[in-house]
């Protein structure tokens, strides 16, 4: 009996020491490997379906964890063995195992910033989003097209089931004749800067952009009864806004640009908007030729009366507001660049021709100045 007391005491002491050691291993800072600094951040990707054993091995390989058993034993003892969440996480050298586990079970993954400028089309938007978020642009576009078409059918964005079917046919025809896909989601992907959690899926991202644009559409200034866009469908309003976005350089000019196009519609004129042709031919930012204006497309406003079939890019809030409330005091039927960041608006063909000639003189002078700077090596 006397021999058992010291043995029990020794066993108890060993148990206490083991618990203390284990607690320190669990809560204390992990050793920092050579060549690294305390607090230096390491990004860890935890795939869906990963186990704690696999995560621990990765942490050891990255130098964040000394012994995988510390983590795997710790999560069992604390009941966290089923709580590992997939995602992208920022961990730091010298961090305790307990804090690593807390991060990996929180679901608070790294936030990824995605910026979509006004006027980008659906394809360019999908590429930027896909590159940032790590999924194929095609998956994003497929999800976005499906979501917008469903909303168009259920919410009457185009006015009814027949309009939805007609737009289906137009997009299919355009894709075949132009040799590239045209998308339902064109115009419906709200430009903005977003923060998404790493690992967020294409469907979720697409849904958020679309919901944001539809909310903005709903919040645009009320169209005046009897005004130029009264009675328009949301799809028509978005279409005009996309043209305004493509033309405008200054916010103050957007309502006037919208007015020029509604003035033309009121007079039964074709819109003859260059950006619609550039969209049809996938030549945004490129020079258009007279032969381009003859392209057979439902988006070519030089050949087709009225608005184009749908949006030609993703408009921002200012262009949406301008489309909803064009400047009704503006009687202009034409506008041309002033050679800087604005436009000259004209009511008559004669006024417009004079403005065009002035623009040509300005551009000629600018090109000459550019050539002179190049020939002088850029020295003023």
Which 3-state string (H, E, C) describes 296-339? CCCCCCCCCCCCCCCCCCCCCHHHHHHHHCCCCCCCCCEEEECC
pLDDT tens profile 30-56:
999 888 888 888 888 888 788 999 999
From the list 137, 142, 54, 40, the residue with the least C-alpha distance to 94 is 40
Spatial distance between the Cα atoms of 152 and 159, rounded to a whole number of angstroms: 8
346, β-bridge pairs:
334
pLDDT tens profile 133-192:
999 999 999 999 999 999 999 999 999 999 999 999 999 999 999 999 999 999 999 999
Query: For residues 354 and 282, is the Cβ–Cβ distance under 8 A?
Result: no
What architecture is domain 26-106? 2-Layer Sandwich (3.30)
- At a CB cut-off of 8 Å and minimum separation 6, what does 51 contact? 84
| pLDDT digits (tens), the chain, 380 positions | 555 556 565 666 676 766 777 788 888 899 998 888 888 888 888 887 889 999 999 999 989 999 999 899 989 989 998 889 887 788 889 889 899 898 898 877 778 999 999 999 999 999 999 999 999 999 999 999 999 999 999 999 999 999 999 999 999 999 999 999 999 999 999 999 999 988 789 999 999 999 999 999 999 987 888 889 999 999 999 999 999 999 999 999 999 999 999 999 999 999 999 999 999 999 998 999 999 999 999 999 999 999 999 999 999 999 999 999 999 999 999 999 998 889 999 999 999 999 999 999 998 888 888 888 887 765 44
Which 3-state string (H, E, C) describes 38-90? CCCEEEEEECCCCCHHHHHHHHHHCCCCCCHHHHHHHHHHCCCCCCCCCEEEE
pLDDT given at position 17: 66
Please tell me the pTM assigned to this model: 0.79
For the chain, give every domain's residue range: 26-106, 114-331
């Amino acid at each position: 009996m006397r021999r058992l007391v010291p043995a029990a005491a020794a066993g108890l002491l060993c148990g206490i020491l083991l618990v203390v050691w284990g607690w320190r291993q669990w809560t204390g800072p992990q050793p920092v490997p050579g060549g690294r600094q305390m607090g230096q951040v390491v990004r860890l990707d935890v795939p869906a379906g990963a186990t704690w054993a696999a995560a621990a091995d990765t942490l050891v390989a990255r130098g964040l964890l000394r012994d995988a058993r510390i983590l795997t034993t710790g999560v069992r003892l604390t009941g966290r063995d089923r709580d590992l969440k997939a995602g992208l996480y920022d961990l730091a050298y010298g961090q305790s195992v307990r804090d690593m586990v807390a991060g990996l079970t929180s679901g608070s993954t790294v936030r990824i910033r995605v910026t979509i400028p006004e006027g980008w089309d659906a394809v360019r938007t999908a590429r930027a989003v896909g590159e940032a978020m790590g999924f194929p642009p095609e998956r994003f576009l497929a999800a976005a097209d499906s979501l917008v078409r469903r909303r168009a059918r259920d919410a009457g964005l185009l006015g009814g089931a027949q309009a939805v079917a007609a737009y289906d046919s137009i997009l299919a025809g355009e894709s075949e004749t132009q040799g590239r896909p045209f998308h339902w989601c064109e115009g419906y992907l709200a430009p903005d800067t977003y923060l998404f959690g790493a690992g967020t899926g294409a469907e979720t991202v697409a849904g958020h952009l679309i919901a944001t644009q539809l909310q903005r559409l709903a919040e645009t200034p009320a169209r005046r009864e009897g005004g130029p866009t009264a009675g328009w469908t949301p799809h028509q309003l978005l279409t005009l806004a996309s043209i305004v976005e493509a033309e405008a350089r200054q916010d103050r000019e957007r309502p006037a640009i919208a007015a020029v196009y509604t003035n033309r519609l009121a007079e039964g004129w074709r819109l003859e908007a260059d950006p619609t042709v550039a969209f049809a031919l996938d030549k945004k930012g490129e020079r258009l030729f007279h032969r381009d204006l003859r392209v057979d497309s439902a988006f070519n406003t030089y050949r087709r009366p009225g608005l184009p079939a749908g949006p030609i890019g993703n408009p921002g809030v200012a262009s949406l507001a301008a489309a909803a409330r064009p400047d009704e005091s503006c009687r202009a039927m034409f506008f041309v660049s002033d050679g800087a960041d604005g436009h000259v608006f004209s009511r008559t063909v004669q006024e417009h021709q004079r403005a065009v000639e002035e623009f040509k003189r300005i551009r000629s002078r600018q090109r000459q100045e550019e050539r002179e700077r190049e020939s002088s090596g850029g020295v003023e």
